[in-house]
Each structure stands twice: as structure tokens, then as C-alpha cells.
Structure 1
Amino acid sequence: RYSVSKYISIALVSLGIFTCTFMSAKQVASDSSLNEEGGLQVFLWWLLGIAALTFALLMSARMGIFQETLYQRFGKHSKEALFYNHALPLPGFLLLAPNIYQHAVLFSQSEPFRVPLLGLTVPIMWFYLLMNVLTQSVCIRGVFVLTTECPSLTVTLVVTLRKFLSLILSILYFRNPFTAWHWLGTALVFLGTLLYAEVWHGLRALLARCSGRPKEE
């Protein structure tokens, strides 16, 4: 179904993400502020988190294929899919009700923040949560619209790249170490993305037109 270049591009993106993740794991394991037992516990929890994210990514890819099949059979209805994907899991949050309430209390006890332009003063954590909800709403709407227009592999790649960019921004914002291995992983990710998008073919065709040569098939 896919060309060899598509498989190579996905392999490059996966290798780049693995490189950045593995180097971050070494930084977690070598944290000098923790003793050996504490460092091992943190590292194991970190591995559990990575495993959960990997499982979620695989399930998301499988759901993308399922959505693509549904769209082909019943038509493209991104808003309907968006509603059911978020409405059906809501009862599951009842299992986390005590934890949600505890964090709501902590949010209310955070330092006050004056919202620009509106002049309202709210706890800063509630403001952060509101901004996160708004940005996530825009993002997820775009993803569901994308599922109606692009193959599931393209959607999965876009979502993975978005998460990778979030990781890079987080590293830069919190001033975590960004080693040469991280640069290598970033380069592999973007190289794989350009290869998947067939940018090289587009550039070659553009150069061919500019030089007056006929486009090669």
C-alpha cells in the first residue's frame, strides 16, 4: 500500500524519537540528587510512563484505521466522531473523582493571577487549565478534520510530530540539557518528515521547471 520511501521515513521518525527518549532516560537515571534506590524507582516509573504512551500511540493508530474504515462506509462526519470519542469516556472519570477533587482544591489555593484585558483575578492554575483546554480543543478539532481528509498513517505521523515538538519546547522552556544526541534525534525526525511529505520530489520538480527541463516521471 505504501512506497519504500514511506517506510524509510517512518523508520527515521521512530529512530529520532527513540534517540531523544533514550537520552532523556539516561539523564533521569543519572540524577545525582537521588540515591540509588530512589533513582531506580523514578526510572521505573519513567519506563512505565513511556510504556503507557507507546501503548496509547499504538491504540491511537489502530483507532485511526478504524475511523478511516467508518468514514469510507458511512461518510465523513468529523464532528460526530469528535463528540462520541469524548462523551463516551466521561463516566470513567468518576473512578478518579477523589483525585480530581483533591487537585481542584490545590488549584484553588494557587497564587492569584490577573487576567490581561479582562481584569479578573483567578488562581493561576485554573488559568493554566483553561488555556490548556482551549488549545487542546483547537488541536483535537484539527486532528479529527484531518482524519477525514488524509490516510490514517499521515494523521498518526502528524500527531506524533506534534507530541515531539511539545517535548522539544518543554526541554527548552524548562532549560533541561539538550545534548548532541537530542539534536541528532531532532534531525532524524525532521528528515523523516520531509521524506514522508515528498519534499525532495517537489524541489526537484521545481528546479526542473526553473531550468526549463521537462519534469521527469
Structure 2
Amino acid sequence: MRPAIAVGLVFAGCCSNVIFLELLARKHPGCGNIVTFAQFLFIAVEGFLFEADLGRKRPAIPIRYYAVMVTMFFTVSVVNNYALNLNIAMPLHMIFRSGSLIANMILGIIILKKRYSIFKYTSIALVSVGIFICTFMSAKQVTSQSSSSENDGFQAFAWWLLGIGALTFALLMSARMGIFQETLYKQFGKHSKEALFYNHALPLPGFIFLASDIYDHAVLFNKSELYQVPVVGVTVPIMWFYLLMNVFTQYVCIRGVFILTTECASLTVTLVVTLRKFLSTPQQRFAVSWTLQASSSGTTEWPGELRHR
């Protein structure tokens, strides 16, 4: 029953989250750091109050293991955010990260000495082909959209290649983190809430190095157009509303993912996350296109369909 609930949380939270992430990134492409900081802070505060019992509860898994996991987690989050600034479009960003299935299977074979069925190898191969096609078409799009100047075109393509390199690094690091989590749970038992808390609380000091960028985007968010929040009737800058909804839906999503890591193998977790990415894309595009149309007509209300999802 728990895996079914976890899958429901992942699909509901993550599919909603990607809409607000796209809305934030469309307006301010470099806002990844403030988004990640807000997500980490909210989850850490919630975990400190309800899981760590204000610091009085001793962790079941030694802190040193969480420190290793956190280093991986923080690095993956920051690298993925910066990739959006390197000529990487959001659809490519999402689809390329779906390659974690491939990375997870390869590392599982190398590190855990696992073997899979022919059906699974075939499925992963098809996913690989899809990612290759999407990446190839994205490269052509970058070239065609760049300036007619040869130097400008080469520079845009070079930044795109750097973005692909960043995504590849984050992909492998994310797969390694999943395998590391799987081995920890086998050794110390299942502690999804504890892992969720420490994975978000321990990296918080690292955001000191990003404080300037976070502050600059907070100022930009304050200058965005005002939006009246439905039901409560409070008026706030719309970028802060998007951020609040992004943080809430991210909490639902990541809570489901961490429950899954304690109930299923790493490859199964990766498969569930990959499926939700593909299902997210059409919904994401609908929400963003509607919002852009609404902005041009002078209204910022959500359509009824999205408001109740």
C-alpha cells in the first residue's frame, strides 16, 4: 500500500511542481538558486519540527553517511539549475534527465553486480534512442536560433555543449546517489522521513556562497506584478506565489520519492520518476501557454481546470 501512496504523491506533486518551475524559469531563467534554497529551507524546517523533534531525536543512520548523500544531492541540484543558463531548453532539460534510467542501470551493473532481463535492457535502449534524438534536434535548434554571425553561432553551440556536459555529470551523480541510498537502507533500515530531513537540512550552510544571487532574485521577485491569491484573497507579487506553490508541490513530490526509495529498488524509483517527467510535459506546456496568453490580455487568474488540480 505504501508504494502505491508514494507513487500517487510523486505524480501529483511532481507534475504540478514542473508547471511552477517553468513559470519561474520563463520569467527569470537564472532563478534556480532561490528556488532550491526555498525548497530546502521549507523541508528542513518541517523536518526539524516534526521528525528531529527540535534536535532531540538521534538519527538512526550515522550523520557521516548523510553528509556523503547531501554532497551528492546538493551538487546535482545546483548543476541542474545552472544548466538552464547554458542554452538548455526546459523540455530538453527534463527529457535528458530521464536518462537517469540508463545511468542507474549501468552503475547498478558495475557497483552492485546486478543483472536484468532482456525486456529491461530493450526498454532502456529505447529510452536512450529517444534521448539521443531529442538532444540532436535541440542542437540543430540552438544553431538555427543563433545569430547569422559564425562566431555567435559557435559561441551559442559551445554553451549548449557545456550545458549537455553539466546535465551528464548531474545524471551520473544522481544515479550514484540512488544506489548509495539503496545500500544504506539495506544496512540500517528504512527511514524515509529522517533521510528527507537530513538531505535538506545539512546543505543549508552551502547556500551562503549563493547568497548574493538569491538576494538579487528576491529583489526581482518583489518587483513582479501583483496577484490576488484565490480563496485567501491576499495580494502578493506573482513570482512569490509561483515560488510558494513550487515549494509546496516539491515537498509533496520529494516526500513520495523518499518513501519509494525505502520500498523499492533504485531502478524502480528511477522508472517512476522518469514516467512522471514524460507525463508532466503536455500539462506543463498547457499551463505556460495559457499563462502567457492571460498575461497579454491583462489577467493573471488561473483557469478553473488548473486551480482544482
User: Is the CA contact 1:17–1:164 (under 8 Å) kept in the aligned structure 2?
Assistant: no
Is the alpha carbon distance of 1:143 and 1:85 closer, same or farther for their aligned partners in structure 2, counting shifts above 3 Å? same
Go from structure 1 to structure 2 and tell me whether the alpha carbon gap of 1:37 and 1:169 turns closer, same or farther (over 3 Å shift): farther
* Structure 1 residues not aligned, in runs of 5+: 176-217
Within the candidate set 145, 151, 169, 1:37 is matched to 151
| Deviation, structure 1 residue 99 | 0.6
Instruction: Give the Cα–Cα distance (whole angstroms) in 2 for the partners of residues 124 and 146 of structure 1.
Output: 33
Distance of 2:252 and 2:229 partners within structure 1: 21
State the identity as a percent: 75
Do the aligned partners of 1:115 and 1:121 also contact (CA within 8 Å) in 2? yes
Question: CA, structure 1 residues 168+42, in 2 after alignment: closer, same or farther (shift >3 Å)?
Answer: farther
CA contact (8 A) 2:227 2:237 kept: yes
Code of the aligned partner of 1:148? T
Distance, in Å, in 2 between the alignment partners of 1:91 and 1:144 is 22
Corresponding residue number in structure 1 for 2:237: 123
Match for residue 86 of structure 1? 200
1:53 alignment counterpart? 167
Normalised TM-score (structure 2): 0.52
> Residues 81-137 of structure 1, C-alpha deviation per residue, up to 9 Å, x if partnerless?
111111121111111100110000000000111111111110011111111111111
Give, in whole Å, the separation in 1 of the partners of 2:247 and 2:186.
31
DSSP-derived class of the 2:227 partner: strand
Q: Normalising by the residue count of structure 1, what TM-score does the alignment of the two structures yield?
A: 0.73
Deviations for 1:186-205, whole angstroms, at most 9, x for unmatched residues?
A: xxxxxxxxxxxxxxxxxxxx
**Secondary structure of 1:30's match?**
helix
Instruction: State the partner residue of 2:210.
Output: 96
Hey, what does 2:139 align to over in structure 1?
Answer: 25
Give 1:169 deviation, angstroms: 4.8
How many Å separate the matches in 1 of 2:259 and 2:154? Answer: 42
Aligned length: 175
SS at match of 2:145: coil
Matches of 1:160 and 1:40 in 2, distance apart? 32
Deviation per CA, 1:149-170, whole angstroms, max 9, x where unpaired? Answer: 1111111222233334445555
> Deviation digits for residues 20-77 of structure 1, max 9, x if unmatched?
2221221111116564333332332222222222221211111111111111111111
Higher mean C-alpha displacement, 132-141 vs 41-50? 41-50
Equivalent in the alignment of 2:116:
2
In structure 2, distance between residues paired with 1:14 and 1:86:
31
Task: Tell me how large the CA RMSD over aligned residues is.
Answer: 2.1
C-alpha distance in 2 between matches for 1:68 and 1:28: 38
Match of 2:267 among 153, 164, 173: 153
Pair 1:72-2:186 in alignment: yes
User: 2: distance between equivalents of 1:91 and 1:113?
Assistant: 32
Change (3 A) 1:121 1:173: closer
Match in the other structure for 1:112:
226
**Aligned match of 2:48:** none
> Counterparts of 1:160 and 1:20 in 2: how far apart (Å)?
15
Classify 1:134/1:151 alpha carbon distance in 2 versus 1 (closer, same or farther; 3 Å).
same
In structure 1, the partner of 2:13 is none
Cα gap change, 1:168 to 1:56, in 2 (>3 Å): farther
For 2:146 and 2:156, the matched residues in 1 are separated by: 12
- The alignment status of 1:140 with 2:260, answered yes or no, reads no
The residue type equivalent to 1:120 in the other structure is V
Work out the CA distance in 2 between the residues paired with 1:170 and 1:81. 29
